[in-house]
Amino acid sequence: MSVLSGKKILLGVTAGIAAYKDSFLVRLFIKAGAEVKVVMTPASKDFVTPLTLSTLSKNPVHSTFYDKTDENELWNNHVDLALWADLMVIAPLTANTLAKMADGICDNLLLATYLSAKSTVYFAPAMDLDMYKHETTAKNITVLEKRGNVFIPPSFGELASGLEGEGRMAEPEEIVSFIEEHLMEGMPLRGKRVLITAGPTFEAIDPVRFIGNHSSGKMGFALAEEAAGLGADVVLISGPSHEKLVRGSIKRINVVSAYEMYESTHEFVDDVDIAIFSAAVSDFKPKVVSSKKIKKKEESMNVELVRTPDILASVGAKKKQQYLVGFALETENELENAKEKIRKKNLDLIVLNSLNDKGAGFKSDTNKITLIDKSENIRSFDLKKKKEVASDIFNEIIKHIDA
C-alpha cells in the first residue's frame, strides 16, 4: 500500500491545458488512500470543471474567497485549508502562477492558501517549450526550491502548441510516484519491517462464553500507525478489537485466541527487524472447551485452566536480529517485575505501565509509561495521548537501533 494512505492532500489547479489530467490525479490519490481537497484559480475552471473534481474528491472545490451571488455565503478560509493539509500539490503550475508564487503576489484563493501553507508544497509546471526554457522560469523555479518547495520536473513530449520538448506536465502516475518516493526519503524506518501485537485474546469456554480481558488494542494500533508513518512495513496481529486503522499500508491479521496469535507471530517474526508485543495475551485457557453451551444447572461451575503459550518468551528464546519490545502492566513491585521480564524473555526494551496511574491502562485514550532498556536505563514520561506515547516509544527504539 502507498505511503500516501491516510494523508490529507490539498491539490491546487491553475489555468493550463494539463488541468484536465487532474481528474486522473485525484483518482490516483484517492486510490492510494489519501483524502483530497481541491483549490482552483478562477481561470482554471475553463479547463476542468469544479463539478468533476468535487465528484471525484468527494469534497467541495474552492476557487474564490466567497460566492458573490450569495450575500450570506461564508468566506473560504485559506488558512484553514492550508493547515488541514499534510501536503500541498500544485499541478499544473502555469508560468503566471509560478511567477506570482516566487514574488509573493496574492491575488486569488490558491495563492493565499499557498502563502499560508505549513506543509511541504510540491509543484509540477506545465507550459510551452519556450516559456519553460525562459530564464525567468528557471529563476522562479530555483526561488521556490530554495524556500523548501519540491519541484516535480515536466516531461518531454508533444505540447499544446504542437511543438515537442520539455514543458509537458508530468503524468498523474509520475506525480504520485515522485511524491511517494520523496516522502519515503529520510524516513527513519524506511526498509525496516515491524511486527506488532495488539488487543486481548479470548479463550473459549463454550460457543458462547470466553475468558478475556479489558484490552481495547488502542496502544498497539497507535504503535502500528506510528511505525507506518516512519516508513516501516508493518504487520499488526490483533486480537478482537473495535479499533480501526487509518493507513491502508498496514497488514492487519485478526486472531482470537492466544494460540492463534502465537501461530501468526511465528509466521512473520523471523523476517522482521523490530517486534513489539503490546497485546494483553490471556495467560490461561480452559483445559476442555464444551462444544455446546453449558446450561445453568448448578450454583457454581468449576473450569480447569491450563497455561497458554508464552509468545514473547518463545520469540526471545530464538531471537536473532530482531529488536524485541515487551509490555508490562503491573500493580506492585513494578520496576523489579519489569526488569525481571527483560532478563527472562531476552528483551531489548520494556514498556512499563501501572494500573495505579490514573489515565493509564486498558480502554483509556491516554497512557503513562516508563521505558527500561536491557542495560536497565530508565526513562519515565508524563501522562500522554497514546498517539504521543507511540511516538516516544519509537523515538527510543530508533535511538537504539541506530546506535
Closest by CA to 309, choosing from 277, 349, 334, is 277
Q: What is the pLDDT of residue 70?
A: 55
For the cut 70, the answer to whether the pLDDT of residue 403 exceeds it is no
Share of the chain above pLDDT 90, in %: 74
Q: Has 149 been annotated as catalytic?
A: no
* The one catalytic residue among 213, 337, 367, 395: 213
For the segment 289-317, what is each residue's pLDDT rounded down to a tens digit?
999 998 887 778 889 999 999 999 999 99
Are 37 and 49 in contact, with CB atoms under 8 Å apart? no
Q: What is the pLDDT of residue 200?
A: 95
Q: Which of 72-76, 98-102, 364-368 has maximum average pLDDT?
A: 98-102
DSSP label at residue 194: E
Element (H, E) at 98: helix 95-103
Computed on alpha carbons and rounded to an integer, the radius of gyration of the chain in Å comes to 27
The lowest-confidence range among 83-92, 155-164, 223-232, 389-398 is 155-164
Specify burial of residue 301 (Cβ count, 10 A radius: 0-12, 13-18, 19+): exposed
Provide the CATH number for the domain formed by 8-184 in this structure: 3.40.50.1950
For the segment 167-213, what is each residue's pLDDT rounded down to a tens digit?
789 999 999 999 998 988 878 998 899 999 999 999 999 999 999 98
Q: What is the pLDDT of residue 167?
A: 79
Q: Report the DSSP beta bridge partners of residue 210.
A: 204
Q: What is the pLDDT of residue 296?
A: 81
Q: In the chain, what are the helix, strand and coil shares in percent, each to the nearest 5?
A: 35, 25, 40
DSSP label at residue 88: E
27: amino acid identity, one letter: R
For the cut 60, the answer to whether the pLDDT of residue 105 exceeds it is yes
Q: What is the mean pLDDT of the chain?
A: 91
> Residue 1: CA atoms inside 13 Å, Cβ hemisphere, count?
24
> pTM for this structure?
0.71
- Mean per-residue pLDDT, 352-376: 81
Distance separating alpha carbons of residues 114 and 10, to the nearest angstrom: 10
Q: What is the pLDDT of residue 247?
A: 76
- Mean per-residue pLDDT, 150-161: 84
Beta carbons within 10 angstroms of residue 313's beta carbon: 14
For the segment 33-72, what is each residue's pLDDT rounded down to a tens digit?
899 999 999 999 999 999 999 999 999 999 988 666 555 5
Q: E strands, 28-117, where?
A: 35-40, 61-62, 87-93
Closest by CA to 4, choosing from 194, 172, 246, is 246
Q: Report the DSSP beta bridge partners of residue 353.
A: 329
Give me the residue label for grid cell 526561488.
143
Phi, psi of 12, rounded to the nearest 5 degrees: -100, 135
Beta carbons within 10 angstroms of residue 315's beta carbon: 24
Closest by CA to 225, choosing from 46, 35, 390, is 390
Quick check: helix, strand or coil at residue 318?
Answer: coil
The domains of the chain are located at: 8-184, 193-401
The lowest-confidence range among 89-93, 119-123, 243-247, 350-354 is 243-247
- Please state which of the four CATH numbers 3.30.110.70, 3.40.50.10300, 3.30.565.10, 2.60.40.1120 is assigned to the domain occupying 193-401: 3.40.50.10300
For the segment 335-361, what is each residue's pLDDT rounded down to a tens digit?
999 999 999 999 999 999 877 667 666
- Mean per-residue pLDDT, 159-172: 80
For the segment 223-245, what is each residue's pLDDT rounded down to a tens digit?
999 998 898 999 999 999 999 98
Q: Are 8-184 and 193-401 the same fold in CATH? A: yes
Query: What's the pLDDT band for 135 if we cut at 50, 70, 90?
Result: very high
